[in-house]
């Protein structure tokens, strides 16, 4: 049985990062759920990435432009960046203690993760598109 606590620390400045924000279990659950997808996709991504090194552009297109590798890599990129954004949020919260700077860093992380996932998808769609 769990007992919810309504205590909220007002501690500010040094040490504030060690005060619980009550989002820990939600974060852990989110990371674990995305990991279930990323474990097999990560192995596939490692395999495909190792296969494109040293190839000219046409070779890369032939290697990962087929439907299955392209879809697997798109899924890896999108789910990976959702997972990475959450992970980077934790790093920012742990190390950036100035509230205004933290807010900016979290916002930058949100948009950077979205941009990488979108451009990653676009790039793989261009690679896989019929010529």
Partner 1 sequence: MDSSGSANADSDARGAQRPLSPHLSVYRPMMTMMMSIAHRITGAGLYVAMALLTLLFLGVGMGGAFYTAFGWLGSSAIGGLLVFLITWAIYHHLLGGVRHFLWDRGLYMDPKGREALAIGTLAGGVGLTVLTWIARSLAG
How far is 87 from 34, CA to CA, in rounded Å? 11
- Asked whether position 39 contacts partner 1 by CB under 8 A, the answer is yes
Which distant-in-sequence residues (6+ apart) come within 8 Å of 113 by Cβ? 81, 82, 84, 85, 88
- Asked whether position 119 contacts partner 1 by CB under 8 A, the answer is yes
| CB atoms closer than 10 angstroms to residue 109 | 18
- Asked whether position 46 contacts partner 1 by CB under 8 A, the answer is yes
Buried b / exposed e along 74-93 (16+ C-beta atoms within 10 A)? bbbbbbbbbbbbbebbeebb
Give me the least distance between CB of 112 and partner 1, in Å please: 8
Give me the least distance between CB of 3 and partner 1, in Å please: 21
Count how many Cα atoms sit within 13 Å of the Cα of residue 126 in the half-sphere of its side chain. 8
Give me the least distance between CB of 83 and partner 1, in Å please: 9
How far is 119 from 86, CA to CA, in rounded Å? 19
- Asked whether position 127 contacts partner 1 by CB under 8 A, the answer is yes
- Asked whether position 130 contacts partner 1 by CB under 8 A, the answer is no
By CB under 8 A, the residues from 16 to 35 that bind partner 1 are 18, 28, 32, 35
Residues binding partner 1 (CB under 8 A): 9-15, 18, 28, 32, 35, 38-39, 42-43, 45-47, 49-57, 60-61, 77, 80-81, 84, 87-88, 91, 112-113, 116, 119-120, 122-127, 129
């Amino acid at each position: 049985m769990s007992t919810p606590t309504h205590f909220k620390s007002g501690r500010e400045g040094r040490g504030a990062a060690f005060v619980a924000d009550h989002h820990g279990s939600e974060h852990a659950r989110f990371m674990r759920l995305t990991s279930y997808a990323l474990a097999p996709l990560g192995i596939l991504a490692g395999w495909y990435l190792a296969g494109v090194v040293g190839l000219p552009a046409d070779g890369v297109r032939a290697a990962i432009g087929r439907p299955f590798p392209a879809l697997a890599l798109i899924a890896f990129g999108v789910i990976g960046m959702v997972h990475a954004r959450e992970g980077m949020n934790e790093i920012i919260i742990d190390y950036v203690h100035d509230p205004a700077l933290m807010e900016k860093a979290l916002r930058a992380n949100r948009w950077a993760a979205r941009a990488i996932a979108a451009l990653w998808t676009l790039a793989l769609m261009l690679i896989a598109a019929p010529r």
